[in-house]
Amino acid sequence: MRAAVIGAGISGLTVARRLKEISSVEVEIYEQNSQVGGKILSHSYEGKIYELGAVVATPDYVLISQLVEELNIKKIMPEETTFINGLGSQVSIVSHIEERFGKAHLLKALAKFWRIIFDCPELLKAGFVGLDHRFFAPMARFAKDEGIEPVTELVRPFLTGCGYGYYEEVPAAYFLKLAPWVLKRGTLDALTLGLTSNWFFVEGGWKVLSDHLATNLKVHFNAHVSKIKRSVHGVTVETSNGEARFDLVILACDPRSYMSFLDYTAEEHALALQVKYIPYLVTLAQVPGGKTTAFIDSTTRMAVGSVNYIVRPHFDSDVCQIYQILPPKIDEDFLRHERVKAAQLCGGGVEKEILKKYWTYFPHVDSNSCFNRFYDRMQNLQGKNRTFYVGGFLSFESLEHAAEFSRGIADNIVSQLEF
Ligand SMILES: Cc1cc2nc3c(=O)[nH]c(=O)nc-3n(C[C@H](O)[C@H](O)[C@H](O)COP(=O)(O)OP(=O)(O)OC[C@H]3O[C@@H](n4cnc5c(N)ncnc54)[C@H](O)[C@@H]3O)c2cc1C
């Protein structure tokens, strides 16, 4: 049995590695770039590593934490994260929310929030199949209906800051996957954005992890897949280097990519068209002076283009990673002006911009698609036409969810082979 995996991001690497671990399936990975990782993109500058893609992990990341331990990679704790409110002042996010809603309301909402999570542990798992429909309402409406606004507002700067879109637009299910990991349980005094307490980066960057996952796997680099043809006899994968035959294909890139080369069916086409993305920009810049790891209150669509998040990963360097969700029409002067403004709010200034990386990020669907059974329909496609699908659009766009989902698909493939 031969399987082709298209894409060597964490999803493709995990599915390939797991298949190799538990079966005799021969796996070959096709990757259009000259390196593995996809949205894991660690960049070396003046002897230090900066992340242009995935940034932080939490100890709640089970598979990722296991790999970090296994590889004995040193964890790096970020500097304390501050919050900059709409008036441009650095404030404690908890006091800010307490002032806005009152302590009693916040405490009540916290209790309700944890009850929701306890009653639905599936929320924390990768994927969205089988979730109660109430989680498909946009987050802003869900929070209001459930009376948990003070809690969801507490994590909003973090979730939007990390590029996961806006509460008014994105279904609650997406935000609820990460919110419990951001908001550590504890007394109100101990409540912090999880980031300040136990989130971590890794020495050498996440690249160390993706390179490790690729060890002993057959990866074709610079192999842009241009066509896939499927029939009852098998699957043909075409790249500029020629074509090869397989028994099945695992699509480990987002639908926008695979629709450009797949001999898609009407159902695949209809579903792929529903997937939305967030245009996201990461700028590496020298920001001398100031205290520069902060979430900024740019959490509604009105603030699109403003800086959401600014991270200084190394205590002994003033180089920062600056994050912006982009408007449909890009105005470079405006975006740069916003970066300068954000640096000033942190008490520093942008001295030099080193590089920029534009992403098509956070593949997701809207509430209507969720209500119209997008995830059940995608699930029904798994295994049909010799094809399986993995990736952020099915799992949720994080390292842990992508890895967990891919592992599950590999197990699923092997269990089908055993029949
Ligand atoms: C700026 C940014 C910050 C992030 N921060 C975090 C974070 O802090 N914590 C966290 O957990 N997650 C974070 N993420 C999300 C995380 O990085 C992703 O969820 C995860 O890496 C997705 O992996 P994937 O394998 O599903 O997709 P990808 O990494 O997108 O992999 C898809 C691969 O397919 C390849 N491909 C596409 N088309 C073709 C083709 N035609 N032929 C061959 N190959 C093809 C691509 O080159 C790519 O390598 C962040 C992402 C970004 C961009």
Domain total of the chain: 3
Residues 270 and 378 in one domain: yes
Residues 6+ apart with CB under 8 A from 334: 305
* Cβ–Cβ < 8 Å for 333, 369: no
Does 49 fall in a domain? no
Q: Measured between alpha carbons, how far is 323 from 319 in angstroms, rounded to an integer?
A: 13
Identify any residues that bridge with 229 across adjacent strands, giving them in sequence order.
236
pLDDT of residue 238: 98
- Between the CA of 283 and the centroid of ligand 1 the distance, in Å, is 17
Q: Which helix (H) or strand (E) holds 70?
A: helix 62-70
- Closest alpha carbon to 175 in 199, 145, 147, 151: 151
Residues 219 and 233 in one domain: yes
66-70 own/partner pairs: CB under 8 Å, 24+ apart: 67/209, 67/212, 67/213, 68/202, 68/209
Residues 99 and 179 in one domain: yes
Q: Which helix (H) or strand (E) holds 280?
A: strand 276-286
CB of 41 shorter than 6 A to ligand 1 = no
- Between the CA of 109 and the centroid of ligand 1 the distance, in Å, is 34
Last residue of a domain, one of 120, 154, 188: 188
Last residue of a domain, one of 362, 385, 401: 362
- Between the CA of 114 and the centroid of ligand 1 the distance, in Å, is 30
CB of 252 shorter than 6 A to ligand 1 = yes
- Between the CA of 204 and the centroid of ligand 1 the distance, in Å, is 18
CATH number, domain with residue 122: 1.10.405.20
List b or e across 60-98, with b for residues whose CB sees 16 or more CB atoms inside 10 angstroms: bbebbbebbeeeebeebebeebbbbbeeeeeeebbebbb
Q: Which atom of ligand 1 is nearest to the CA of 11?
A: 25
Does 8 fall in a domain? yes
Residues 104 and 245 in one domain: no
Does 346 fall in a domain? yes
Q: Which atom of ligand 1 is nearest to the CA of 392?
A: 26
Which residue has its alpha carbon closest to ligand 1 atom 48?
38
pLDDT of residue 305: 95
Does 286 fall in a domain? yes
Residues 98 and 184 in one domain: yes
CATH number, domain with residue 291: 3.30.70.1990
Specify burial of residue 304 (Cβ count, 10 A radius: 0-12, 13-18, 19+): middle
Q: Measured between alpha carbons, how far is 367 from 207 in angstroms, rounded to an integer?
A: 34
Per-residue pLDDT tens, the chain, 419 aa: give them.
999 999 999 999 999 999 999 999 999 999 999 999 999 999 999 999 999 999 999 888 999 999 999 989 999 887 777 888 888 888 888 888 889 999 999 989 989 999 999 999 999 999 999 999 999 999 999 999 999 999 999 889 889 999 999 999 999 999 999 888 887 655 555 455 444 567 889 999 999 999 999 999 999 999 999 999 999 999 999 998 899 999 999 999 999 999 999 999 999 999 999 999 999 999 999 998 876 788 888 999 999 999 999 999 998 899 999 999 999 999 999 999 999 999 998 888 888 999 999 999 999 999 999 999 999 999 999 999 999 999 999 999 999 999 999 999 999 999 988 76
Residues 103 and 180 in one domain: yes
Residues 241 and 390 in one domain: yes
Residues 409 and 378 in one domain: yes
Residues 254 and 301 in one domain: no
- Between the CA of 417 and the centroid of ligand 1 the distance, in Å, is 28
Does 312 fall in a domain? yes
CB of 282 shorter than 6 A to ligand 1 = yes
Residues 264 and 152 in one domain: no
* Cβ–Cβ < 8 Å for 46, 20: no
pLDDT of residue 192: 52
Q: Which helix (H) or strand (E) holds 230?
A: strand 225-231
Does 217 fall in a domain? yes
- Edge-to-edge strands, sheet with 248-251: 218-220, 26-30, 2-6, 248-251, 387-389
- Between the CA of 384 and the centroid of ligand 1 the distance, in Å, is 25
Which string of DSSP letters, residue by residue, matches 87-138?
A: TS-EE-HHHHHHHHH-HHHHHHHHHHHHHHHHH-GGGGSSS-TT--GGGGSB
Residues 333 and 374 in one domain: no
* Cβ–Cβ < 8 Å for 248, 8: no
Residues 389 and 309 in one domain: no
pLDDT of residue 289: 82
Structural domain containing residue 370: 2-39+206-275+365-418
CB of 311 shorter than 6 A to ligand 1 = no
Q: Which atom of ligand 1 is nearest to the CA of 55?
A: 8
CB of 253 shorter than 6 A to ligand 1 = yes
CB of 30 shorter than 6 A to ligand 1 = yes
CB of 65 shorter than 6 A to ligand 1 = no
Ligand 1 pocket: which of 32, 39, 293 to mutate (most atoms within 8 A of CB)? 39
- Between the CA of 84 and the centroid of ligand 1 the distance, in Å, is 29
Q: Which atom of ligand 1 is nearest to the CA of 282?
A: 1
- Between the CA of 413 and the centroid of ligand 1 the distance, in Å, is 22
DSSP β-ladder status, 319-325 and 307-311: antiparallel
Does 84 fall in a domain? no
- Between the CA of 218 and the centroid of ligand 1 the distance, in Å, is 19
Last residue of a domain, one of 362, 380, 408: 362
pLDDT of residue 417: 83
pTM of the shown model: 0.96
CB of 409 shorter than 6 A to ligand 1 = no
Does 353 fall in a domain? yes
Which residue has its alpha carbon closest to ligand 1 atom 35?
7
* Cβ–Cβ < 8 Å for 1, 217: no
Q: Which atom of ligand 1 is nearest to the CA of 64?
A: 11
CB of 195 shorter than 6 A to ligand 1 = no
CATH number, domain with residue 19: 3.50.50.60
